[in-house]
């Protein structure tokens, strides 16, 4: 059969792993409110009625992380045990320590220069297949999950609980262009005594058609709560852990991933900040029409300011010589951790928003790595190079 299928998933903020991401990033944000230079690396685990928060924090203030966690659980909607957890009654255990002095030696340099907080391989990606320069499957999956959360929170579908997930499979042609949705899976936690036929009809109309209806055809296979029952959910059903949804956080499996999770880490950790930078570079390259697809990879060594390697892959869709593109990128962008933090303004609280519905392809102003401010510069440099070449 010609073409191929690509599948991506998304989850709501009530999914156990995403609860943990939000708690970790919520703690990070609260510390940045009081100390923009705070060093934070926080992991959260949740199971049944117990939350465990552990990690390393060095800051000029000490905060009550358990209170922060309870507030986030309440905001998500875990206000009664029948939903999967009660934010007031659950047990919260904490084990917070200072950042390792050995790591601090590599990060904090003299004259304000920062070394990378760890070694790592980081990827960023962009494609021209959507207006947000994201792969279509992950964008559609996020739209479904966001709509599922919206109708729960506004009360129009009152019988929904916080946990839920979506999955979208898109058919592509051999040239890599999306053609149509092949299948959709939607799983939504709900109260007891909701008849399956009614549930199916409501979620079709109020969630699927209102979020991505223009993409659904008569041939699209749709599965809503495939097991026929999703009453027990959230932490009552599954253990959650920070950093376990890295493909949901990024590009849905379309692009490669270095393996480092984002949530709970301040911007000195290049797992996070350099991933934002790599996306920033890739998106501006594609938006400038220098390539139809672009993947930027960056490798760091702990304590070093400059990357070990920067590689640009355009999957043979480039409009200019790759050697020239590499030279232009090296001139326009700096990949030093201190420069990334300053350019993308990563010392201010903004990270809890990133913990749900993806870190990329977002329009909110806090997502500074989604800006296209380098497009005119890239175009001008290419024009200058072509002019100089023609003069020769």
CATH number (domain holding residue 196): 3.30.300.10
Domain count, the chain: 2
Separation CA 190–CA 249 (nearest Å): 25
Q: Which residue range(s) make up the domain with 221? A: 4-10+136-233
Are residues 363 and 305 located together in one domain of the fold?
A: yes
Separation CA 383–CA 380 (nearest Å): 5
Residue 26's pLDDT is what?
98
Quote the Cα angle for 323-291-246, to 5°: 100
Residue 106's pLDDT is what?
56
Residue 199 lies in a domain: yes
Separation CA 242–CA 261 (nearest Å): 8
How is residue 363 written in tokens?
């329009």
Are residues 285 and 379 located together in one domain of the fold?
A: yes
Q: Of 233, 256, 288, which closes a domain?
A: 233
Q: Of 183, 208, 233, which closes a domain?
A: 233
Are residues 382 and 352 located together in one domain of the fold?
A: yes
Residue 255 lies in a domain: no
Q: Which of 102, 23, 100 is nearest to 63 (CA)?
A: 23
Residue 91 lies in a domain: no
Are residues 288 and 386 located together in one domain of the fold?
A: yes
Q: Of 172, 204, 233, which closes a domain?
A: 233
pLDDT along the chain (392 residues), means of 10: 91 98 98 96 96 96 97 97 94 90 57 73 97 98 98 97 98 93 98 96 98 95 95 96 97 94 96 97 98 97 92 95 94 95 96 98 96 97 77 46
Separation CA 28–CA 350 (nearest Å): 9
Residue 206 lies in a domain: yes
Separation CA 354–CA 78 (nearest Å): 20
Asked if 225 and 246 touch (Cβ cutoff 8 Å), the reply is no
Residue 112's pLDDT is what?
58
Are residues 276 and 387 located together in one domain of the fold?
A: yes
| pTM recorded for the entire structure | 0.94
Are residues 320 and 212 located together in one domain of the fold?
A: no
SS3 at position 192 = coil
* Residue 125, phi then psi, degrees to nearest 5: -145, 150
């Amino acid at each position: 059969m010609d073409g191929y299928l690509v599948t991506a998933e998304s989850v709501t903020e009530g999914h156990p792993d995403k609860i943990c991401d939000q708690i970790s990033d919520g703690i990070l944000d609260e510390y940045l409110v009081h100390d923009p230079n705070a060093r934070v690396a926080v992991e959260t685990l949740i199971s049944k009625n117990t939350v465990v928060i552990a990690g390393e924090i060095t800051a000029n203030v000490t905060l009550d992380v358990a209170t922060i966690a309870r507030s986030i659980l309440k905001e998500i909607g875990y206000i009664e045990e029948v939903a999967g957890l009660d934010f007031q009654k659950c047990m919260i255990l904490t084990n917070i320590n200072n950042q390792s002095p050995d790591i601090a030696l590599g990060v904090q340099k003299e004259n304000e220069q920062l070394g990378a907080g760890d070694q790592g391989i980081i990827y960023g990606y962009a494609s021209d297949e959507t207006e947000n320069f994201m792969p279509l499957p992950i964008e559609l999956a996020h739209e479904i999950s966001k709509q599922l959360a919206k109708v729960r929170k506004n009360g129009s579908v009152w019988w929904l609980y916080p946990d839920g997930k979506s999955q979208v499979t898109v058919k592509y042609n051999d040239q890599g262009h999306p053609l149509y949705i092949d299948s959709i899976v939607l799983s939504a936690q709900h109260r007891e005594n909701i008849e399956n036929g009614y549930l199916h009809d409501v979620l079709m109309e109020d969630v699927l058609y209102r979020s991505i209806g223009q993409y659904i055809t008569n041939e699209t296979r749709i599965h809503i709560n495939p097991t026929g029952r999703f009453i027990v959910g959230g932490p009552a059903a599954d253990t959650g852990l920070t950093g376990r949804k890295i493909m949901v956080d990024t590009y849905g499996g379309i692009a490669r991933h270095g393996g480092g999770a984002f949530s709970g880490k301040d911007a000195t950790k290049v797992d996070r900040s350099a991933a934002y930078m790599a996306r920033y570079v890739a998106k501006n390259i594609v938006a400038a029409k220098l390539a139809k697809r672009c993947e930027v990879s960056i490798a760091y060594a702990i304590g070093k300011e400059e990357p070990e390697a920067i590689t640009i892959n355009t999957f043979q869709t480039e409009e200019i010589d790759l050697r020239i593109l590499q030279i232009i990128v090296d001139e326009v962008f700096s990949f030093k951790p201190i420069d990334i933090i300053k350019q993308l303004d990563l010392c201010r609280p903004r990270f809890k928003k990133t913990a749900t519905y993806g870190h990329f392809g977002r329009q909110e102003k806090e997502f500074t790595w989604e800006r296209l401010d380098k497009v005119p510069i890239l175009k001008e440099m290419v024009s200058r190079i072509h002019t100089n070449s023609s003069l020769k």
